[in-house]
Amino acid sequence: MKPLIAVCSQDADFYLLLGHILEVDGFASMLAPCVDDVLAVVSDRPVEAVLLDCRPDNKVAAQSARLKQDALLGALPCVALVHPGAEAQHIQLLQSGIDECFVRPFAPAKLLHYLRSRLAIGQAPGPATRGGRPLVYADVEMRVDSSRLVRWQGDRAWADRIQVAAPHAGEPREGTQP
């Protein structure tokens, strides 16, 4: 299954061109004309990232904070594609916690590289996830290759990063003498 990228844009031409670029590189895309549509669709479909079409005449940058505050969307990569003349929106985007900004024109390869690296696509899986299979234990299903908790007790859940606490070299472990 191709990773699904939600494109928040009201420009059909821009969406069709960007959608084609994403499809050719192995992604699936879907149009979400406004931030409310992005918020609604993420609970129904397994969206992997969100691309925001920020233009001088739209309010996407001002509403981007809502995306990063959402429980499901907050952990997803959120990328702003800033059009010429909309550079003043950078402050709003930075304050909202947006993950990356690309100012147009930009090379599509840079966006694709960012998405592939952020979503861990094309990286060799470790022995536990060979073939892209998730790790499953009881009610927890985890995709280790992308550090995301996929299912817990049958419901979708997200984890931004999974960290393993290990004792530092030279530190005694609990219950042992130094």
Instruction: Supply the pTM of this predicted model.
Output: 0.69
For residue 144, pLDDT over 80 is answered with no
Provide the domain limits for residue 31.
4-118
Question: Alpha helices, DSSP H only, in the chain?
Answer: 12-24, 35-42, 60-69, 90-96, 108-118
Residue 39 has which token pair?
A: 């918020």
For residue 165, pLDDT over 70 is answered with no
- pLDDT tens profile 23-49: 999 999 999 999 999 999 888 889 999
CA distances from 104 to 77, 114, 129, 138, 177 (A): 19, 15, 37, 46, 60
- pLDDT tens profile 83-128: 998 888 888 898 889 999 999 999 999 999 999 999 887 655 444 4
Whether residues 94 and 166 fall in one domain = no
For the chain, what is the radius of gyration of the CA atoms? 19
Whether residues 105 and 145 fall in one domain = no
Count structural domains, the chain.
2
